[in-house]
């Protein structure tokens, strides 16, 4: 659940961040494109509308006006001038102001500028900025060579408001020098005289058309200069072609489409870049995991990470790199799983090896007594009358002993299988442990074949009662005592004892025989450690200690071994009272 919450939180906040970044990028792109269009429009129609942009781009603080260097450069390049007038009529900020311009203005001069848009030889665009506590008046002045030329022509060539017939040719030659033409309109707006290239001339103007051409000269093929002398009532309009390479009028829809193409293309590229980065960042760990699965599927559990992969995942300090920290539980789980599988595979191979050795030993153990029984069977079958009664009894005894050995071996196999399947289906009852140990030892004391072994009992006289299965506990004592007798030389002493120790019942079986080394002790209870050894004795299957441990564990007890070479062996068994 921890990694699920972290993954969900991680991808959620990243999606939110990416969405915010794309939104910010879209806004910035829109602002940049809109600013570009506005700048292009301003350049195309400059100086129309420039004064408003200058006012908007200025900042007044602490009696100091700040304006972008872009505007300063543009005003100087266009041979214009700028003055900012305070509430007292003084110019507090100037750019490229000519020497003939005053540094302070009277109210009459400012009103005249406001109404006529002129001051001396200059055309003046003005705007009042009341943003601040004290209002500021911006004046942007410039000369119009076309208007000056048109005014001079009117003075030289007019008669009754029209071009004098005597001077038409002179005026036409001057107009053709700049490929211009002149229209003269009456008060009704009708064209009464045209001089110049008539094929491109306007004959009739709509009421707002001249205003539009004045406000947005870059949207038309020609610039116009308008002169309206009050005496004649006529209007002189001179058209001069725009320079090549200047902007031409474009439909609004086309501009919008262009904006969306730019914005859409930019967003697409940005999204593609983020997607590639996102896929690389989160795809690389998945590719690494797939390599792990492939190697683990091939059984290469000890090569979960190749040296190259390790350098990708871990820093030199051993810490995970940032891109892999999100999957730290997955990586740790991979390592744990690989270690377990490697250990399991190793155990399986060892188990297969020991099982083969054990099966080989079992086959040998079964083959040896069967060979003896088969040999005696052939003898008795072929010449039974040639043998004496004692010899026949010896043969029968040998056949019986070998058969008993085989029966014990098969019984041990059955016990091993039962114990391996889980808890024994045993019936439990109260058992007096001291008496059980005594009876088990007494059986071996009364065995006439064990005359060279000394058997002793040491223990408390008080009864020790446990809950268990008497048959299996008897089998446990038989295994312990018979192992002590079988695996030691004649003349040893075997001592059995029982009692209470720290609220637990115990059984102790010790001998003073040859003892065991550390490897033997470590593998003493393994079923497949070494199989059986029939050369030492034909009694027992070699599985006794494994069975003994299973019996003890089935009674919720524990078994411990203490031994050393040539120092004997002591086996301790502890049972809970309840």
Question: Computed from CA positions of residues 60, 66, 68, 73, in that sequence, does the dihedral angle turn out positive or negative?
Answer: positive
- Give the integer Cα–Cα distance in Å for 404 and 430: 31
Query: Other C-beta atoms within 10 Å of 465: how many?
Result: 13
Of 78-82, 167-171, 394-398, 531-535, give the lowest mean pLDDT range: 531-535
Question: Computed from CA positions of residues 457, 459, 462, 463, in that sequence, does the dihedral angle turn out positive or negative?
Answer: negative
C-alpha 247: how far from its chain's center? 51
The H helix count followed by the E strand count for the chain is: 16, 20
Instruction: Read off the pLDDT of residues 290-345 as tens digits, 9 standing for 90 and up.
Output: 777 777 777 776 666 667 777 777 787 878 777 677 677 777 777 777 778 878 87
Locate tokens 């024994």: which residue? 424
* H helix runs in 314-432, sequence order: 322-325, 328-382, 389-420
Cα-Cα end-to-end distance for the chain: 41
Report the SS3 class of residue 302.
helix
- Give the integer Cα–Cα distance in Å for 561 and 522: 9
271 burial via Cβ count (<10 Å: 0-12, 13-18, 19+): middle
Instruction: Read off the pLDDT of residues 459-472 as tens digits, 9 standing for 90 and up.
Output: 777 888 999 988 88
- Give the integer Cα–Cα distance in Å for 175 and 333: 90
Assess contact for 141 and 124: CB atoms under 8 A.
Answer: yes
In sequence order, the β-bridge partners of residue 429 are: 468
Beta-strand ranges (E) seen in 46-157 are 59-61, 64-66, 81-85, 91-95, 118-119, 122-129, 136-142
The reported pLDDT for the residue numbered 483 is 84
In sequence order, the β-bridge partners of residue 194 are: 183
The reported pLDDT for the residue numbered 509 is 94
For residues 150-171, average pLDDT: 86
Structure tokens belonging to residue 12: 């959620």
Categorize the per-residue pLDDT at 474 as very low, low, confident or very high, splitting at 50, 70 and 90: confident
- Give the integer Cα–Cα distance in Å for 91 and 95: 11
Any residues with CB less than 8 A from the CB of 196 and at least 6 apart, and which? 172, 175, 176, 180, 181, 182, 239
The reported pLDDT for the residue numbered 254 is 58
Categorize the per-residue pLDDT at 538 as very low, low, confident or very high, splitting at 50, 70 and 90: very low
For residues 96-124, average pLDDT: 88
Asked whether residue 570 carries a pLDDT value surpassing 90, the answer given is: yes
Query: Other C-beta atoms within 10 Å of 452: how many?
Result: 10
Asked whether residue 188 carries a pLDDT value surpassing 50, the answer given is: yes
Instruction: Read off the pLDDT of residues 253-284 as tens digits, 9 standing for 90 and up.
Output: 455 666 667 777 777 787 777 777 766 666 66
In sequence order, the β-bridge partners of residue 500 are: 505
- Give the integer Cα–Cα distance in Å for 91 and 104: 6
Angle between helices 544-554 and 470-486 (to 10 degrees): 150
> Which tops the pLDDT comparison, 192 or 4?
192
Categorize the per-residue pLDDT at 537 as very low, low, confident or very high, splitting at 50, 70 and 90: very low
- Give the integer Cα–Cα distance in Å for 449 and 9: 80
Instruction: Read off the pLDDT of residues 120-146 as tens digits, 9 standing for 90 and up.
Output: 888 888 989 888 888 999 999 988 888
Asked whether residue 420 carries a pLDDT value surpassing 70, the answer given is: no
Select from 476, 541, 539, 486 the least CA-distant residue to 511. 486
Categorize the per-residue pLDDT at 575 as very low, low, confident or very high, splitting at 50, 70 and 90: very high
The reported pLDDT for the residue numbered 73 is 85
Q: What H or E segment, with its residue span, contains residue 478?
A: helix 470-486
C-alpha 325: how far from its chain's center? 7
The reported pLDDT for the residue numbered 535 is 42
Asked whether residue 534 carries a pLDDT value surpassing 80, the answer given is: no
The reported pLDDT for the residue numbered 247 is 41
For residues 230-242, average pLDDT: 82
- Give the integer Cα–Cα distance in Å for 162 and 291: 93
Instruction: Read off the pLDDT of residues 43-76 as tens digits, 9 standing for 90 and up.
Output: 655 666 678 888 887 888 877 888 888 788 888 8
For residues 377-390, average pLDDT: 75
- Give the integer Cα–Cα distance in Å for 392 and 516: 41
The reported pLDDT for the residue numbered 301 is 64
Select from 374, 327, 403, 415 the least CA-distant residue to 2. 327
> Which tops the pLDDT comparison, 433 or 12?
433
> Which tops the pLDDT comparison, 205 or 313?
313
The reported pLDDT for the residue numbered 255 is 57
| DSSP state letters, 176-222 | HHTT-EEEEE-TTSBEEEEES-GGG--SB--TTHHHHHHH-GGGSSE
């Amino acid at each position: 659940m921890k990694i699920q919450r972290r993954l969900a939180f991680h991808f959620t906040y990243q999606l939110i961040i990416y969405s915010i970044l794309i939104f910010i990028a879209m806004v910035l792109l829109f602002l940049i494109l809109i600013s570009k269009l506005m700048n292009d429009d301003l350049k195309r129609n400059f100086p129309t509308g420039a004064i408003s942009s200058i006012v908007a781009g200025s900042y007044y603080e602490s009696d100091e006006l700040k304006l972008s260097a872009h505007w300063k450069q543009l005003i100087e390049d266009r041979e214009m001038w700028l003055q900012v007038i305070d509430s007292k009529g003084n110019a507090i900020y100037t750019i490229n102001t000519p020497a003939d311009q005053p540094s302070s203005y009277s109210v009459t001069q400012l009103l005249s500028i406001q109404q006529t848009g002129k001051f001396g030889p200059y055309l003046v665009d003005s705007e009042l900025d009341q943003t601040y506590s004290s209002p500021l008046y911006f004046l942007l002045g410039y000369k119009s060579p076309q208007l000056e030329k048109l005014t001079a022509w009117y003075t030289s060539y007019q008669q009754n408001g029209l071009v004098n017939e005597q001077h038409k040719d002179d005026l036409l030659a001057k107009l053709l020098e700049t490929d211009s033409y002149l229209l003269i309109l009456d008060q009704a707006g009708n064209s009464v005289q045209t001089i110049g290239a008539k094929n491109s001339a306007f004959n009739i103007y709509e009421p707002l058309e001249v205003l539009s051409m004045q406000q947005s000269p870059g949207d038309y093929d020609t610039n116009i200069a308008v002169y309206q002398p009050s005496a004649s009532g006529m209007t002189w309009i001179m058209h001069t072609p725009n320079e090549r390479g200047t902007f031409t009028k474009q439909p609004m829809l086309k501009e919008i489409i262009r904006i969306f193409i730019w914005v859409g293309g930019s967003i697409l590229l940005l999204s593609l870049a983020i997607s590639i980065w996102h896929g690389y960042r989160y795809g690389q760990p998945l590719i690494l995991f797939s390599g792990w699965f492939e190697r683990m599927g091939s059984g290469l559990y000890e090569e979960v990470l190749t040296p190259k992969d390790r350098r990708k995942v871990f820093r030199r300090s051993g810490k995970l790199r940032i891109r892999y920290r999100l999957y730290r539980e997955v990586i740790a789980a991979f390592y744990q799983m690989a270690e377990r599988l490697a250990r399991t595979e190793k155990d399986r191979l060892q188990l297969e090896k020991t099982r083969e050795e054990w099966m080989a030993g079992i086959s040998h153990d079964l083959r040896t007594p069967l060979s003896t029984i088969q040999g005696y069977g052939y003898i008795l079958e072929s010449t039974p009358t040639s043998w004496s009664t004692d010899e026949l009894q010896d043969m029968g005894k040998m056949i019986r002993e070998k058969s008993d050995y085989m029966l014990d071996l098969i019984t041990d196999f059955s016990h091993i299988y039962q114990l391996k399947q889980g808890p024994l289906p045993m019936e439990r009852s109260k058992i007096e442990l001291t008496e059980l140990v005594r009876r088990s030892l007494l059986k071996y004391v009364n065995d006439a074949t064990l005359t060279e072994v000394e058997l002793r009992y040491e223990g408390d006289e008080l009864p020790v009662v446990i809950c268990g299965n008497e048959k299996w506990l008897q089998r446990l004592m038989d295994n312990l005592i018979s192992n002590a007798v079988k695996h030691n030389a004649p003349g040893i002493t075997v001592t059995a004892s029982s009692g209470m120790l720290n609220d637990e019942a115990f059984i102790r079986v010790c001998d003073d025989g040859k003892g065991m080394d550390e490897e033997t002790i470590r593998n003493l209870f393994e079923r497949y450690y070494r199989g059986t050894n029939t050369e030492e004795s034909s009694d027992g299957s070699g599985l006794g200690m494994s069975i003994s441990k299973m019996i003890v564990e089935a009674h919720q007890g524990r078994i411990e071994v203490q031994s050393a070479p040539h120092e004997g062996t002591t086996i301790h068994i502890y049972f809970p009272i309840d």
